[in-house]
Amino acid sequence: MASHAKAAQKFARQLFAMSIVDGAVSADRVAGVLEYVEKHHPANPVMVLKAYRRLVAAEIAKSLAVVEHAGAINDAMLAAIAASMTKKYGRSVTATARPSPALLAGLRVQVGDDIYESSVAGQLAVLAASV
Amino acid sequence: MSTVLEQIEQQIAKLSSKAVKKNTGNIRTVADGVAKIDGLSDVMYNEMVQFPGGAIGIALNLEEDEVGCVILGDISQLKEGDEVTTTGRLLSVPVGKELLGRTVDALGNPVDGKGPLGAKEFYPVERIAPGIIVRKGVSQPLFTGIMALDSMIPIGRGQRELIIGDRGTGKTTITIDTIINQAKINKVGLASGDKNFRPVYSIYVAVGQKNSNIVRTLSALEAAGALEFTVVVAAPAADNPANQYIAPYSGAAMGEWFMENGMDALIVYDDLSKHAVAYRQISLILKRPSGREAYPGDVFYLHSRLLERAARLDGKGSLTALPIVETLAGDVSAYIPTNIISITDGQIFLETDLFNQGIRPAVSVGLSVSRVGSAAQIKATKQVGGKLKGELAQFRELAAFAQFGSDLDAKTKAQLERGNRIVELFKQPAFAPQPIELQVAVLFAMQKGLFENVEIQKVSAAAASLKNFFTTRKDALLAEIRTKAALDKDLEARLQAACEEWKSSYSA
């Protein structure tokens, strides 16, 4: 079982490497990969596609700044965040807004694994942990 | 009032403008105290990571697209998809004198119900062992209070002496005796007001032990008044393997505090076989390649980096380590025993046969050795017991041959008789360590042939009587041996006279 999972992971990585064009995930290549998997039925296709999906999702997340906000946010602010993140990570990052009243006030920006916490809820959580 | 509001608003503005960066991941799987995590791209090896619900983990496996973490604490609430964040810190435990008399878990949290520790300092659990330049040779004795050990296999401050043997041969008892003896010496030394006196503080690390055994050890230490000089780190068998894996390192960090601050400490790892088993379990779940006996490839480093932290530092203190290893059917050539034998500065081998014959402590003289040797002995012990190990080893050899023949010459018979008497003399009950001055007096009496006319079966009783005589009637003489630590002609004469006095009054 473990060896199947390893083989599927390895194959998924190879498919993922083929899906990258100029440092970003290419929609055409992804479509090609899916077509290939459907046609050729590799061993453990579900395992392969799940691992492939995880890798693609992680890569897409690196180019997307998800801006959670409690108050109002305008396009100019989103553009400023996207520009700032593009400069910081050295790759093209787009920003998308997601309302989140649970933050109480402020912003929470997620780019890949990194989270930039500037919300009241986040600060309260830090305070609660330190008490 | 408006100023107050302004102050609050300013504070809010100040807080709001601060964006805190966190690196996060999500639990992919969690089982048996080990979590596989997606993300955590910035995590460092051995870094502490924060799980939801207050549980913390240590990143042990950094792979291409996942991180393997051991979880310390309650894992029952964790589930797939939970967010995990890096902390940028190494795991640290509280250290200091506040821990003396307390029982803590592998993370340094008190588990004895005596309230918070109040420790002011924290040390990282994993530290690089002291290098060559800062170290000093081992030359100061650490008395175990066990006559067979102090006279034949002496231990010095800063030494690593392995205690090895099958289950139920008295390994833990030797270490508890040693801890109790340190407490006794500390009490005498501190009461004397001697400014040069250096107390030895003890740390007892229980790994994979039954809770009942830990309670028994605690009771023994408390009954002997040794708990006030001891820290107990408990990672019992019911604890998750991650806690059992980290406990010896936590104990070492606590011991290092004493060493770094110019004090002497003794640490007991009870036992490293179970520690290796806990690490093997973690490694197998992390899917690390397994080697001999299914242990991972770095099992040697697991123990070498731990035991190398015991040292005597130049201008500072020392940390003496007494690791315990359990063997199966006396097999010292198994993987973990040979590893630890090669790391330590000697071993005390306990034999089941000797234990069953009633020879306790069941020390096998032939297989036991202290590589520090007589450098860790006071002169008085060397004077009275310098040749004992050789004599006893010779006796064992002769005894083995004597089994096959009945006609023995007078010299051989005398050697056998003397050997049997020494064996009897070295028998010692559990939790009753003897002060070094008393050991010197008894060995002096033995060397002067005081027990030669006593029947072999009655030697133990005679020795007990002699000890009683010295402690009740020759206290001043014992105190002088203790302070001088060597026997000059005057002391020898007075010891001889005391022995004669006892002999005249003793009837077997």
Residue B425 is encoded by which pair of tokens?
Answer: 């003399």
Give the model's pLDDT for residue B412: 86
Tell me which of B30-34, B195-199, B236-240 is least confident.
B30-34
For residue B5, name the pLDDT band (cuts at 50, 70, 90).
confident
**B251, B93 contact by CB (below 8 A):** no
For residue B14, name the pLDDT band (cuts at 50, 70, 90).
low
Contact B20/A122, CB-based, under 8 Å? yes
Measured between CB atoms, which of B12, B20, B25 is closest to A113?
Answer: B25
- Closest alpha carbon within chain B to A108: B19
H/E element, B23: strand B20-31
The larger pLDDT score, comparing residue B9 to residue B500, is at: B500
> Looking at residues A25-54, what average pLDDT do you find?
90
Give catalytic status of residue B494 as yes or no.
no
Average pLDDT value for chain A: 89
Give the model's pLDDT for residue B13: 61
Residue B129 is encoded by which pair of tokens?
Answer: 């062992």
Percent of chain B with pLDDT over 70: 97
From the list B371, B418, B421, B482, the catalytic residue is B371
Whether the per-residue pLDDT at B391 is higher than 90: the answer is: no
Whether the per-residue pLDDT at B234 is higher than 90: the answer is: yes
Cβ contacts of B364 within 8 Å, gap of 6 or more: B349, B350, B351, B354
Give the model's pLDDT for residue B407: 77
Give the model's pLDDT for residue A12: 92
Contact B23/A58, CB-based, under 8 Å? no
Which residue of B12, B14, B15, B28 is the best one to mutate when testing the A interface, meaning the one whose CB has the most A CBs within 10 A?
B15
Give the model's pLDDT for residue B135: 96
Range list of β-strands (E), A50-93:
64-69
- The CA distances from residue B382 to B151, B182, B443, B463, in Å, are 7, 21, 10, 20
Whether the per-residue pLDDT at A112 is higher than 60: the answer is: yes
Q: With contacts defined as CB-CB under 8 Å, which chain B residues touch A107?
A: 19
**B97, B121 contact by CB (below 8 A):** no
For residue B1, name the pLDDT band (cuts at 50, 70, 90).
low
Task: Report residue B476: phi and psi, to 5°.
Answer: -65, -40
Give the model's pLDDT for residue B217: 96
Range list of β-strands (E), B298-443:
318-326, 346-350, 369-370
Whether the per-residue pLDDT at A124 is higher than 70: the answer is: yes
Percent of chain B with pLDDT over 90: 79
* Strands A20-21 and A24-25, sheet pairing: antiparallel
Whether the per-residue pLDDT at B329 is higher than 80: the answer is: yes
Contact A54/B19, CB-based, under 8 Å? no
Interface check B42 vs A, CB under 8 A: yes
Interface check B14 vs A, CB under 8 A: no
Cβ contacts of B231 within 8 Å, gap of 6 or more: B99, B100, B101, B102, B104, B201, B202, B203, B204, B251, B254
What is d(CA B30, CA B37) in angstroms, rounded to the nearest whole number?
Answer: 9
The larger pLDDT score, comparing residue B208 to residue A130, is at: B208
H/E element, B258: helix B241-260
- The CA distances from residue A55 to A34, A49, A61, B184, B221, in Å, are 14, 10, 10, 63, 56
> Looking at residues A57-77, what average pLDDT do you find?
91
For residue A4, name the pLDDT band (cuts at 50, 70, 90).
confident
Neighbours of A83 (CB within 10 A): 12
Whether the per-residue pLDDT at B17 is higher than 60: the answer is: no
The burial class, CB within 10 Å (0-12 / 13-18 / 19+), for A4 is: exposed
Give residue B464's Cα distance to chain centre: 28
